Amino acid sequence: MAAAPTETDPFLAACAGQPVRHTPVWFMRQAGRALPEYRALRGDGSILESLTHPELAAEITMQPVRRYGVDAAVVFSDIMAPLWATGVGVDIVPGVGPVVEHPFRSEDDLRRLRPLVAGEDMPWAGETIAMLTEQLKVPVIGFAGGPFTLASYLIEGRPSREHQSTKALMHAEPELWHSLLQRLVDLAVATIEDQVAAGAAAVQIFDSWVGTLSAADYDRFVLPAVTRFFDDTRHLGVPRIHFGVGTGELLHSMASAGAEVLGVDWRVPLPAAAERAPEAGALQGNLDPAVCLAPWPVVAREARRIISERPAGVGHVFNLGHGVLPETDPDTLARLVDLVHEETAG
């Protein structure tokens, strides 16, 4: 029998820390309001409702692949979708974000969080991914919300700068907190299993707001749950990307949870990230999305800085440090993909 073939898809190879023909690029929120074709197609309707139309969701997912030439397609969805699909009253309010009808307050609210039966509750999610894998040559990335971030939306009822109600509940009622996180991890595991079954070649866990915690609180209140997520999805055999914003002091803990790839925001230089998280086989990031609003020479300079600084011996998936800002000029992102490909071809 021959040795296992070297992975030749740049995105999957980079996730595995293997040699690549060029550094792969994708952008968080690449399918979205920065694209005129997205705005034209989506109109003003509910985002969550739009997800139930697989052809629409697949088309939106493919728009940035065509436009930018990125190396992976991230499925058009929302981290609140599984909660919504299981009956939690939530809406994505334009200009605000997720707004939860009845914020999570007490033990009683646990009963409102029932397990996800993906094929029944959100059959459209798998159908969208199945369509995409049929039509696309690049890998499709599925995703789910991380437990702290989903808990924060449920508890605060809306986006929050301080996450104070979330932290107050976490500290005052640690058993209730851990029960809540267990349910949210169950939800994430079921979501991801369904996405991989439908053909997703990689997944990302967005624990976007976890960087608001001190390392001591992260280790006590989030790490056990997120470690269970990675334990329970390891058998799926796809690379898992673990991402949050402002996580400079958490990278060591986050990497210990078990992801193959660690997503890093723009605040932490990649060499510092590699030093703090030696377990990470690959890093993803980390151009400041706001830099993409600058004139092209600035974007090019910053992209080159990231490429030249990145540490040896660890895979690299080029991405922004957070989602594409709606004001971004699509041409900038198209040029950025070309620049990364050219600078790293070898």
Q: How far is the CB of 170 from its own copies (least distance, A)?
A: 8
Closest approach, Cβ 214 to its own copies, in A, equals 5
Where along the sequence are the contacts to its own copies (CB under 8 A)?
161-164, 167-168, 171-172, 211-217, 246, 248-249, 266-269, 272, 288-291, 293-295, 298, 302, 305, 325, 327
Q: Is 112 a catalytic residue?
A: no
Find the shortest distance in angstroms from Cβ 275 to its own copies. 12
Q: Active-site residue 305, yes or no?
A: no
Let me know: does 149 contact 206? Beta carbons within 8 Å.
yes
Q: How far is the CB of 2 from its own copies (least distance, A)?
A: 45
In this structure, which amino acid lies at residue 111? R
* 258: amino acid identity, one letter: G
State both tokens at 13.
């190879």
Q: How far is the CB of 163 from its own copies (least distance, A)?
A: 7
Handedness of CA 250, 252, 255, 258 (dihedral sign): negative
**Smallest distance from its own copies to CB 297, Å:** 9
In the bound state with its own copies, the residue whose beta carbon lies nearer, of 191 and 253, is 253
Coil vs helix vs strand at 262: strand
Helix, strand or coil for residue 72? coil
H/E segment holding residue 187: helix 174-197
d(CA 164, CA 212): 10
Which phi and psi angles does 103 have, rounded to 5°? -55, 150
Select which of 9, 71, 78, 121 is catalytic: 78
Question: Could you confirm whether 78 is annotated as catalytic?
Answer: yes
For its own copies, which is the closer residue by CB, 64 or 285? 285
Neighbour-count burial of 12, counting CB atoms closer than 10 A to its CB (0-12 exposed, 13-18 middle, 19+ buried): buried
Whole-angstrom Cα distance, residue 28 to residue 297?
22
DSSP alpha helix (H) spans, 73-173: 81-85, 107-110, 118-121, 123-135, 147-156, 164-172
* CA-atom Rg of the chain in angstroms: 19
β-bridge mates for residue 162, sequence order: none
Q: Cα separation of 51 and 115, whole Å?
A: 20
237: left (phi over 0), alpha (psi -120 to 50) or beta: left
- Report d(CA 304, CA 311) in Å as an integer: 14
Report the residue number, 291 or 334, with the smaller CB distance to its own copies.
291
Catalytic residue among 38, 68, 153, 218: 153
Amino acid sitting at position 256: S
Nearer to its own copies, 69 or 224 (CB): 224
Is residue 115 within 8 A of residue 190, CB to CB? The reply is yes
Decide if 42 is catalytic.
Answer: yes
Query: Closest approach of Cβ 311 to its own copies, in Å?
Result: 15
Nearer of residues 260 and 265 to its own copies, judged by Cβ: 265
> Which residue, 126 or 146, has its beta carbon nearer to its own copies?
146
Comparing CB distances to its own copies, the nearer of 8 and 214 is 214
Q: Which residues are catalytic?
A: 29, 33, 42, 78, 153
